Amino acid sequence: MTATEAAPGQAPAGIALGSERPAGHASPTAAAGQLFAGRALRTSGKVLPEHARSHNRSLVLQTLYTLGAQSRADIARETGLTRVTISDLVAELIGEGLVVELGQREDARPGKPATLIDIDRTGHHVVALDLSEHTRFRGAVLDLDGATVARAEVALDGATGERAVELVTELLDGLLALTTSPVLGIGVGSPGVVGPDGVVRSAPNLGWTDLPLQERLQAAFHLPVHVANDANVAVLAEHAGAPGDLVLVKVGHGVGAGLIIGGRPVLGAGSAAGEIGHVVVGTDGGPRCACGKHGCLEAWLAVPRLTAELERLGDADAAASAREETLREAGRRLGIVLAPVVGALNLSEVVLSGPTELLDGPLLEAAVETVRNRTMTEHHRELRLRMTAHGQDIVLRGAAVMVLSGQLGVS
């Protein structure tokens, strides 16, 4: 069996064949259940027994990924498949180098000692890119544990269009040179509207329109590439196996959101789901926004606007309450926009990502309070609104999760 069999019944879009890469860069088989293009077992369309196997293969990987090293018998008990089937699947995965035997379990129990196996976590790397910042592109090499192996970045210096694409490939070149293990794939979080096929429909700041970034990077690097919107990518980092619905609001130069509902990312009719930055807040006007409207969420909440306002107030003690009120007001505005969404989706968790010094404090408190006051509290008693724990690296980590999901079916 070769290691580069595309999923049958579907065009093998997005699966590069890696044969032209230097040794050590393998492309494992595409597995069912990836988070973006291809969706988990397409709602319609035929399902063959081999799809079932692909699903079960991912199930084994997922079990190992979340539970850590296990014996074959453990996995059988966990998944409900038989030991025989698990042995067969594991043999396949070991053959592909994705899984390794770790030796015998050491604790003293009756019976034959178990052979522990696990995903070769440090033996594979993922390359992740965050293109969402305004002044630089950031990137990192991660192993499957999420540990950062290497970092790199390039200054943008106002580059746009084709020049910006060049910077992406340069950054990737540098990162790939830093990898010391086979690379499972490349994950990219891009600003703007990104189609499910990794085409950047529109990213004004980078001057990109209908740029087939995923396809081009795939052609250039001969590795599986996944490109998606930065906020949609970020929410994957936060999702991390939690089964419930989740919304992540990413506050930066703009304001965007990523949604996971029913365990699957929401893309929207025009691939523009989560673009809440230019939704008007409230019925009492508000600051003028770059888009021409008044009182857009971005006009209240975007980082440049908040920092400018705080700077204007100065850092004198006398202005402390005015500064706090500025943040509270921004939080209230966020809450006003979130309330209908929380109500309509009956969300249990909303996560905020962005500069901690601005968001984590009065702003967050005001947002929680506002959402509570504006929705039917009894349905949202368990609503949690909190800061992300991933900090600045959330897009990078999410991009890595996207690759894991796409290549291994692990999410």
Partner DNA sequence: TCACGTTTGTTAGTAGACCTTACGAACAAA
Partner DNA sequence: TTTGTTCGTAAGGTCTACTAACAAACGTGA
Note the residues at the interface with DNA (CB under 7 A): 46-50, 52-53, 56, 71-74, 80-85, 87-91, 104, 108-115
Q: Are 40 and 406 in contact (CB under 8 A)?
A: no
- 284: number of Cβ within 10 Å: 7
Which residues 339-358 are close enough to bind a second copy by CB under 8 A? 339-341, 343-349
Q: Does 257 bind a second copy (CB under 8 A)?
A: yes
The binding track of 319-338 with respect to a second copy, each residue x by CB under 8 A or -, is: -----------------xxx
Helix (H) or strand (E) holding 126: strand 125-130
Nearer Cβ to a second copy (172/383):
383
How many alpha carbons fall within 13 Å on the CB side of residue 211? 25
Distance of closest approach, residue 323 Cβ to a second copy, in angstroms: 22
Distance of closest approach, residue 293 Cβ to a second copy, in angstroms: 8
Residue in 11, 22, 44, 106 binding a second copy, rule: CB under 8 A: 44
Cα separation, 69 vs 367, whole angstroms:
41
- Only segment of 22-30, 113-121, 182-190, 272-280 that touches a second copy (CB under 8 A): 272-280
Residue in the structure block whose two tokens are 């060049």: 166
Cα separation, 336 vs 355, whole angstroms:
21
Among a second copy, DNA, none, partner that 244 touches (CB below 5 to 8 angstroms by kind): a second copy
Nearer Cβ to DNA (83/374):
83
Q: Does 263 bind a second copy (CB under 8 A)?
A: yes
Q: Is 184 exposed, middle or buried (0-12, 13-18, 19+ CB in 10 A)?
A: buried
Reduced to 3 states (helix: H, G, I; strand: E, B; else coil), residue 189 is strand
Distance of closest approach, residue 153 Cβ to a second copy, in angstroms: 30
Bridge partners of residue 227, in order along the sequence:
188
Cα separation, 60 vs 77, whole angstroms:
11
Nearer Cβ to DNA (110/262):
110
Among a second copy, DNA, none, partner that 114 touches (CB below 5 to 8 angstroms by kind): DNA
The binding track of 207-246 with respect to a second copy, each residue x by CB under 8 A or -, is: -------------------------------------xx-
Query: Cα dihedral sign for 335, 196, 97, 128?
Result: negative
Query: Cα dihedral sign for 376, 377, 381, 387?
Result: positive
